[in-house]
């Protein structure tokens, strides 16, 4: 997809959302059910992904770790957004890599230390780009990628989350 194809695909959507803001609000859903052992089978749309305990919390390492999946979702969203923004800006990326890493203190999630946080304390997102674009263009590319990446924005400005029982 080139710059013109992307603009052609997005133009009618942008026009519709401008005249009918409610049309832009959609609900994404995810679901899963408990699996054998301490696992959860997550429906991904393509297949089932089986999540389990990380080895640092007693898992056997045979299942996906939800913390890894969170970082993978960040990488996926940032990668798609980077590609779309580069395309829109006319920046040719010969190659690009997106990496995310973050630190956890498993004492918190295991209840070993009530003062230890549960969850990631720091997450770093790194872009490695092979392009002829200049530094100013690349700075703008990264800034816009950060601005429009849904997962990154959700992590930096978390929504209100409610948990209910049915």
pLDDT at 148 over 90: yes
**How far is the first Cα of the chain from the last one, in angstroms, to the nearest whole number?**
44
Question: How far is residue 3 CA from its own chain's centroid?
Answer: 24
Q: What is the rounded average pLDDT of the residues 123-136? A: 97
Length reported for the chain: 166
The CATH number corresponding to 65-156 among 2.40.30.10, 3.30.930.10, 3.40.50.2000, 3.30.300.20 equals 3.30.300.20
Helix axis angle, 135-148 to 66-89, nearest 10°:
130
> How much is the pLDDT for 51?
94
The pLDDT value recorded for residue 37 is 84
Whole-number pLDDT of residue 56: 93
Of 117 and 45, the structure prediction assigns the larger pLDDT to: 117
Query: What tokens appear for 133 in the block?
Result: 């674009």
The H-or-E segment that residue 153 falls in is: helix 150-156
Q: What is the pTM of this model?
A: 0.90
Read off the pLDDT of residues 67-108 as tens digits, 9 standing for 90 and up: 999 999 999 999 999 999 999 999 999 999 999 999 999 999
Other Cβ atoms closer than 10 A to 24 = 11
117 token code pair: 């946080």
Collapse the DSSP code of 45 into the 3-class scheme (helix H, G, I; strand E, B; otherwise coil) and give the result. coil
* pLDDT attached to residue 153: 98
Tokens representing residue 19 in the block: 């005249």
Q: What is the DSSP letter of 166?
A: -
Beta bridge partners of residue 162, listed in sequence order: none
The stretch 16-27 carries a mean pLDDT of 94
Residue 110 structure tokens: 């295991």
Contact by Cβ (8 Å): 147, 84 = no
pLDDT at 103: 95
The pLDDT of residue 15? 95
pLDDT in tens, 34-67: 988 899 999 888 888 899 999 999 999 899 999 9
């Amino acid at each position: 997809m080139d710059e013109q194809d992307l603009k052609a695909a997005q133009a009618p959507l942008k026009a519709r959302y401008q005249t009918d803001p409610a049309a832009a609000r959609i609900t994404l859903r995810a679901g899963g059910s408990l699996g054998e052992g301490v696992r959860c089978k997550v429906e991904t749309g393509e297949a089932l992904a089986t999540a389990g305990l990380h080895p640092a919390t007693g898992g056997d390492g045979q299942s996906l770790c939800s913390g890894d999946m969170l970082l993978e979702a960040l990488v996926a969203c940032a990668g798609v957004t980077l590609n779309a923004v580069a395309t829109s800006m006319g920046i040719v990326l010969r190659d690009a890599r997106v990496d995310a890493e973050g630190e956890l203190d498993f004492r918190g999630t295991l209840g070993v230390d009530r003062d230890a946080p549960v969850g990631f304390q720091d997450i770093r997102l790194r872009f490695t780009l092979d392009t002829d674009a200049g530094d100013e263009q690349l700075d703008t590319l990264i800034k816009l990628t950060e601005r429009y990446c849904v997962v990154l924005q959700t992590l930096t400005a978390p929504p209100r989350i409610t948990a209910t029982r049915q």
